């Protein structure tokens, strides 16, 4: 069976299994999703969702986030790597304020210019917020694509590039969310 056929079957199968798949981070806008996703590195979405309400209550805009790194550190301490993340979050707030008028940009190129933001986060924001075709290459997605024989690499950019060729653009973002759920529930790291 060709890779395109395998991809079509995987898309259809995961649509049936997880019809309402969405991002498991809690957010209300682009700013919140961007910040929550940065916090989720080396941390569970569940933990991030526990910490972000207080963070967003105190720092509801990029302008306010840019101001107080010590307070940001206190609020995100349980998310791990909190000093690096706090530096990035304040840098994101500053850059969004100074270069983007307080708005989150809508391209992968601009998003990856922000401190601590890589392609995975940029794809998530572009797909979930701006409705653009996106391929979010998290560990579950990469594992699933390899096990299905769709890719033969664990390098996120290579997986993203190959999967963009195989996935229907209008289904790519939802497929990534479904792959994460499938990876957590069934296709775990242990074979």
Q: What's the CA gap between 148 and 143, in Å, rounded?
A: 9
Q: How many residues does this entry show for the chain?
A: 191
Scored b (16 or more CB within 10 A) or e, 92-125 reads bbbbbbeeeeeebbeebeebbebbbbbbbbbbbb
Active site residue 3: no
Q: Are the CB atoms for 92 and 35 separated by under 8 Å?
A: yes
- Secondary structure of 123-165 as H, E, C letters: HHHHHHCCCCCCCCCCHHHHHHHHHCCCCCCCCHHHHHHHHHH
Q: What's the CA gap between 137 and 163, in Å, rounded?
A: 9
Active site residue 120: yes
> Comparing C-alpha atoms, which of 109, 38, 97 is closest to residue 66?
97
- Catalytic residue selected from 85, 88, 128, 138: 138
- Catalytic residue selected from 46, 120, 128, 185: 120
Tokens of 20: 């309402």
Catalytic residue numbers?
120, 138
């Amino acid at each position: 069976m060709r890779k395109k056929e395998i991809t079509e079957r995987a898309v259809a199968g995961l649509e049936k299994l997880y019809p309402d798949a969405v991002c498991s981070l809690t957010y209300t806008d682009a700013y919140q999703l961007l910040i929550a996703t940065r916090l989720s590195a080396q941390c569970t979405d569940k933990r991030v969702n526990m910490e972000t309400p207080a963070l967003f209550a105190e720092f509801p805009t990029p302008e306010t986030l840019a101001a107080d790194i010590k307070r940001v550190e206190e609020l995100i301490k349980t998310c791990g790597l909190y000093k690096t993340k706090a530096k990035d979050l304040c840098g994101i707030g500053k850059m969004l304020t100074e270069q983007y008028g307080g708005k989150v940009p809508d391209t992968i190129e601009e998003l990856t210019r922000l401190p601590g933001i890589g392609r995975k986060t940029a794809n998530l924001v572009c797909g979930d917020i701006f409705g653009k075709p996106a391929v979010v290459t998290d560990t579950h997605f990469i594992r699933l694509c390899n096990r299905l024989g769709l890719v033969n690499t664990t390098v996120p950019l290579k997986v993203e590039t190959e999967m963009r060729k195989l996935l229907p653009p209008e289904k790519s973002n939802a497929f990534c969310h479904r792959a994460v759920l499938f990876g957590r529930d069934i296709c775990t790291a242990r074979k």
